[in-house]
Amino acid sequence: MLIGSARVSTQDQNLELQTEALTRAGGRKIFSDKLSDSRAEQPGLTQAQEVLREGDTVVVWKLGRLGRSFKHLVNLVGEIHHLGVQFKSLADALETGTPQGRFFFHVIANLAEMEREVTVERTRAGLEVARQLGRKCGRKRQMTERRIKFCQETARQRCSASRGGRQSRSSRPYSVSVGSRLDPPLA
């Protein structure tokens, strides 16, 4: 029996492309996960492993959709192979039912791992160059310095009015600091 395994990395991505391909390939049961590559647990994959029997084949849309890393992928395929279960990747035209298929699996898995590492390396290099050029990386600040000062001054004035000039206990845990002057209201 063909047991399908599908995975996307974020909640925004859609599993339909993978599940449709797995169904067309003859997948009788399809298990799926929506989670990041870095997460250790894949509940859908764990469920798929629990139903595997000797003679079954685990089928995935693409090799990178099964494991988080080369080591994880090789270990996983090794574990299922010991159960008498084969592995098949549709997009990579790869099956581990023969010695040549197992060899090709290792070659493709190594290439996939290298591709992932090169992508991470390029991303880090690009971020470093951007920093050296003075560009700010990451999310934009939600509040400008002017708004921060205005909020601090407003909090200070409210504190002074309600406590006779003393900072209230409720403002301390929120790190409300006292500004030097009142900024005009923001439009």
User: Is residue 10 classed as helix, strand or coil in its secondary structure?
Assistant: coil
Catalytic residue of the set 5, 9, 32, 162: 9
Q: Which pLDDT score, from 0 to 100, does residue 132 have?
A: 92
Would you give the DSSP letter of residue 121?
H
Query: Which amino acid belongs to residue 55?
Result: G
Closest by CA to 2, choosing from 89, 64, 101, is: 89
User: Is residue 4 classed as helix, strand or coil in its secondary structure?
Assistant: strand
- Residue 29, strand partner residues: 3
Q: Which pLDDT score, from 0 to 100, does residue 181 have?
A: 46
Question: Is 175 considered catalytic here?
Answer: no
- Residue 8, strand partner residues: 34
The series of mean pLDDT values per 10 residues for the chain, 187 residues long, is 80 78 86 68 78 87 75 83 89 86 85 86 93 85 88 87 57 50 49
Whether the model pTM is above 0.85: no
